[in-house]
Amino acid sequence: MAKYLIEGGNKLSGRVAISGNKNAALPCLAACLLTSQEVVLHNIPQILDVVSSLDILKELGAQVDFQGNTARINCKAIKHHDLPESLANKLRASLLFVGPLLARFGKVEFPHPGGCVIGKRGIDLHLSGFQQLGYTTHENNFAYKITRNRVVPSEVHIFLDIATVTGTENLILASVIRDGKTVIRNAAQEPHVVDLCRMLTLMGAKIYGIGTSTLTIEGVKELSGTEFTISPDHIEFGTYAIAAGLTGGEVELVGCQTVDSDPVIWPMMKMGLSITPQDESIKVTGKKFTAISPKLVTGVWPGFPTDLMSAMIVLSTQAKGVSLLHDWIFESRMFFVDKLITMGANITIADPHRVIVSGPSRLQGKKLESPDLRAGMALVLAALVAEGQSVIDRAELIERGYEDVVVKLASLGAKIQRIDN
Ligand code: EPZ
């Protein structure tokens, strides 16, 4: 596994481009299975999770051409409908191929999906939604087989007791091509769900209530190819904003003017970060960052996104005062804070979902290991502000979701290099 060597203490300054949204690219790649015509997707980030998803499409028989940040995909010659275990258990988003494969073939076999170890991450809501859509699901030792029943209901009303993101996306993908109407209530409203719905609409799908918690889908017979541009990644945007704040620097984030930033930036602005839209960028300065955000709780969109909680914990270690940070969504999101404590942070783990941070504390560079994607990037942020050198192992986990981390941070003045083990 590769590692990052980071010398802390530099203020970040300059301009950095924000890449396409990882969690929009993944469902949009899966949606290509729903047509036999070519699909062209722009602003696709060059990250390991995208490569894994493209590998799954190729394994299924799709033609794939990924140059720069544009993917050209043709699923005309899809050969089979079972997800390869070696690939599917690399990432949670492999689950997103199930919905389109069911719509196309009426059956699918797949292993329990992989992904970041931030909690139990069940798939019961996906399975119960498929059952309501007229499928029979079997599970045997973490391998699943789903088949379409002879009789399929023409009108289905699904209420999700958790506004599951990939659950919403999977059920949309399973419903856009079918003889009937599907209503999904308590649907996730994240920007990546909206991107998926916009792409499917361009392909000919009939989806109403996009961006709300109630989606109504009138099934159609088939979908056409399309050309679609993925929105900027609001989590990467927030991550680099926090990096600017932490180091007391001044950074211009480029290509993210269309990001819906309100749910992301309000706690950072309460802590004194200055975040102002410019003509072609959003400028973030951290010179006056000191105040504390007394309490921060994650939410489903438009609540504060759980994927930025790890980075906000690092920011809170440098603020003045005591704050409570609470992620009720994932029971293992907080487990990386022991590594921050070894660096010198003053953090108390109240329970698996909540930590209490007292700041500011001086952080010392340490040898660390990235436990998951977002915690790994949070450790990079901590290393940027720590005294001395830090070594962060298992860098590939970070590169699953962040494009060109080393290049982007180095271009802003960070002392960071990547070492292949
Ligand atoms: C998506 O994961 C994202 N991944 C996650 O980002 C993100 O943290 C999460 O949504 C919440 O915003 C992708 O989009 C690929 P959930 P997902 O289903 O869909 C429980 C990252 O770092 N649940 O909304 O897996 C689940 O256990 C990744 O980019 C069930 O119990 O999240 C969790 O506690 C990490 N049964 C909660 O709901 C189900 O059937 C939210 O999960 C589905 C979910």
Report which ligand 1 atom has the smallest distance to the Cα of 92: 15
Residues in the chain predicted with pLDDT less than 50, given as ranges, are none
Q: If you search the block for the tokens 């005062």, which residue do you land on?
A: 321
Pairing of strands 274-277, 70-74: unpaired
DSSP 202: H
399 contacts 48 by C-beta, under 8 angstroms? yes
Helices (H), 248-390: 262-270, 309-317, 337-343, 373-385
Q: Give residues with Cβ within 8 angstroms of 212, minimum separation 6.
A: 187, 189
* Spacing, Cα 298 to ligand 1 middle (Å): 13
CA distance 154 to 183: 11
Report which ligand 1 atom has the smallest distance to the Cα of 91: 15
Beta bridge partners of 237: none
CA angle, 389 then 414 then 342, to 5°: 35
* Spacing, Cα 126 to ligand 1 middle (Å): 11
Nearest CA to ligand 1 atom 31: 122
Ligand 1 neighbours, Cβ below 6 Å, are 22-23, 26, 92-93, 116, 119-126, 162, 164-167, 306-307, 329-330, 373-374, 401
Pairing of strands 226-229, 107-111: unpaired
Report which ligand 1 atom has the smallest distance to the Cα of 301: 12
CA distance 34 to 148: 17
Which pLDDT value is given to residue 128? 97
Out of 22, 164, 373, give the residue to mutate to test ligand 1, the one with the largest number of ligand atoms within 8 Å of its CB.
164
The residues carrying an active-site annotation are 116
Q: How far apart are the first and last CA of the chain?
A: 6
Which pLDDT value is given to residue 63? 97
Which pLDDT value is given to residue 140? 87
Which pLDDT value is given to residue 142? 80
Which pLDDT value is given to residue 85? 83
* Spacing, Cα 299 to ligand 1 middle (Å): 12
Report which ligand 1 atom has the smallest distance to the Cα of 373: 22
- Please state whether the predicted TM-score (pTM) of the whole model is above 0.75: yes
CA distance 104 to 210: 23
